[in-house]
Amino acid sequence: MNSQITIYLSQLIGIRCVDAEGKYMGILKDLIIENHISSPADSEHVRPKVISLQIKKKNQIHYFNSQYFEVKRNKSTFKITFSKAEHSPADLVHNSLYLVKNVLDKQIVDINGRKLVRVNDVRLVYISSGIYTVAVDVGVEGLLRRLGVSKQINSLLHPFKGSIPSKFFLWDDIAAVDYGHSGIKLSKTIAKLESLHPSDVADIIEDFGKEEGSRMFEALNDEHAADVLEELEPHAQVHIIESLSVEKAADVLEKMPADEAADLLEELEEDKAEQILKEMDKESSSEVRELLEYPSHSVGSIMSTDFIVFKEETTVNEVLHFLREHKPEANTIYALFVVDSSDKFLSSVSLRDIVISEPAMLLKEIMKKNPVTVFDDDNIDELGELVSKYNLLAVPVINKQKQLEGMVVIDDIVEDLLNKGKTK
């Protein structure tokens, strides 16, 4: 046989299989392919070969070596004939990938569409050396093909120069996530997810469901995982952290703002939270523990300890140099704080103040004259009014000795107000 035949999985499943004498062997239930996972480093196309066929006869399941079968086409139908009925070794089929069981109807990540899509069919190619997987069909055509109506609908659309939408992912771009329980994802997904906004990745992980979402999250690097964790819904955050090892959970929480980490740990069982805190580095753990000690109604419970502070004698040019060098997160530069030689809080400057001022000017010359502050033990309810009245993006939080404890950014104030609204 020199030519090749393009076949879809849906066209083969359920067809009769016979031996060389035409004796009925059973109905084809699944195709088992090589356990080969592509990687970004692969230089050649990956086309896993079908190594075994799962056939059912009288409630009995058998696995036959694909080396001895042949596919024949009769118009729109196919027939499978075995020249020799040799059973496949049990360990071979146990450790391989089943196209129906593990791939069909499972979800994959569409990076460009930033969403999950379902595998509706699998495209195969049959040549003299065997049958190989080429791509997965996630389009409408694949679904209609399985229903047996794709040809009829295409015929109806032809006079109008229309066609059924089709969409494929080459097999090179997918890999198994969990052969036993789940589906597949793009093999390059983890690398490509780095290009998506953390909120998009969070949506994808939540859509995947608990088990699959946890596995995808665990594959992210700690830095990216921390950003994604902040975007997840509270219940999803808790599930993710509980599903991780203590070591991985600690590594991720260390990369998060201390206030966010504290909020999350408050939702965990006390024993689990303590294990994670002990595993975190000393500095991060201490910051989080301090925040956890604040009553839930106090300003300190939602303040961030990530803030930037300068001495009053610092020049505008020095501030700009610092910001360019350290590239801080956006919410940490809503306001830049100024302290005296004794580290007592004096005031704050905005980015606008820095940008429009002469480079040689000192911060004490441009800082606000009458800064608005709150104490760490003040009631949270006071924040909303302050932010609204003075049009603030961030409020400095000080203690009774006028030393900076942190700041509350408008994002956290809004979130607190929204959470209160939900519980009313």
Tally of CB atoms within 10 A around 385: 9
Is residue 78's pLDDT more than 60? yes
Cα separation, 353 vs 347, in Å, equals: 13
Tens-place pLDDT, residues 192-230: 677 778 998 898 888 887 887 888 888 888 999 999 999
Residue 248 has pLDDT above 90, yes or no: yes
236 and 324 co-located in one domain: no
Q: Look up residue 376 and give its two tokens.
A: 């760490």
Reported as a single tens digit per residue, the pLDDT across 371-399 is 999 999 999 888 888 888 888 888 999 99
**276 and 357, same domain (yes or no):** no
The CA distance from 93 to 31, in Å, is 10
* Boundary-marking domain end, from 176, 210, 229: 176
The two three-digit tokens of residue 182, written as one number: 């789940």
* Residues 18 and 116 grouped into a single domain: yes
Coil, strand or helix at 399: coil
Q: How confident is residue 418, by pLDDT bands cut at 50, 70 and 90?
A: low
Q: What is the domain range of residue 101?
A: 5-176
User: Residue 395 sits in a domain of what CATH number?
Assistant: 3.10.580.10
In a domain, residue 299? The reply is no
**Is 302 contained in some domain?**
no
Nearest to 139 by CA among 160, 108, 161: 108
* DSSP class per residue in 226-291: HHHHHHS-HHHHHHHHHHS-HHHHHHHHHTS-HHHHHHHHHTS-HHHHHHHHHHS-HHHHHHHHHH
What is the predicted pLDDT for the residue at 94?
Answer: 82
Cβ(343)–Cβ(311) under 8 Å? no
402 in the same domain as 353:
yes
366 or 3: which carries more pLDDT confidence? 366
Query: How far is CA 257 from each of CA 91, 96, 104, 194, 206, rounded to the nearest angstrom?
Result: 48, 43, 41, 20, 22
pLDDT above 70: percentage of residues in the chain: 84
The CATH number given to whatever domain includes residue 256 is 1.25.60.10
Q: From CA 205, how far away is CA 198, in angstroms rounded?
A: 10
**Cβ 17 vs Cβ 80: under 8 Å:** yes
CATH number of the domain encompassing residue 77: 2.30.30.240
**Helix (H) or strand (E) segment spanning residue 108:** strand 107-110
Question: Closest Cα partner for 130 from 83, 171, 79, 71?
Answer: 71
373: Cα separation from own chain's centroid: 38
Residue 190 within any structural domain of the chain: no
Nearest-5° angle of CA 139, CA 168, CA 203? 70
For residue 34, the SS3 value is coil
Look at residue 62 and tell me if it is in a domain: yes
**Bridge partners, 104 (sequence order):** none
Yes or no: say if 4 and 125 are a contact pair by the CB < 8 Å rule: yes
**d(Cα 29, Cα 302) in Å, to the nearest integer?**
56
Residue 103: CB atoms within 10 A of its CB come to 25
Upper half-sphere CA count for residue 335 (Cβ side, 13 Å):
25
What mean pLDDT do residues 160-179 have? 65
Closest CA to 260 of 224, 244, 284: 284
Indicate whether 366 and 245 sit together in one domain.
no
Query: Both 243 and 272 in a single domain?
Result: yes
Half-sphere exposure of 82 (CA within 13 A, CB side): 23
Q: How many domains does the chain have?
A: 3
**Per-residue pLDDT, 161:** 61
d(CA 118, CA 169): 11
Q: For residue 27, give the nearest of 53, 58, 55, 7 by alpha carbon.
A: 55
Length of the chain in terms of residues written = 424
In the predicted structure, residue 25 carries a pLDDT above the cut 50: yes
Say whether both 289 and 316 belong to one domain: no
- Same domain flag for 260 and 373: no
| Summary mean pLDDT of the chain | 85
Q: Is the pLDDT of residue 190 over 70?
A: no
168 and 55: one domain? Answer: yes
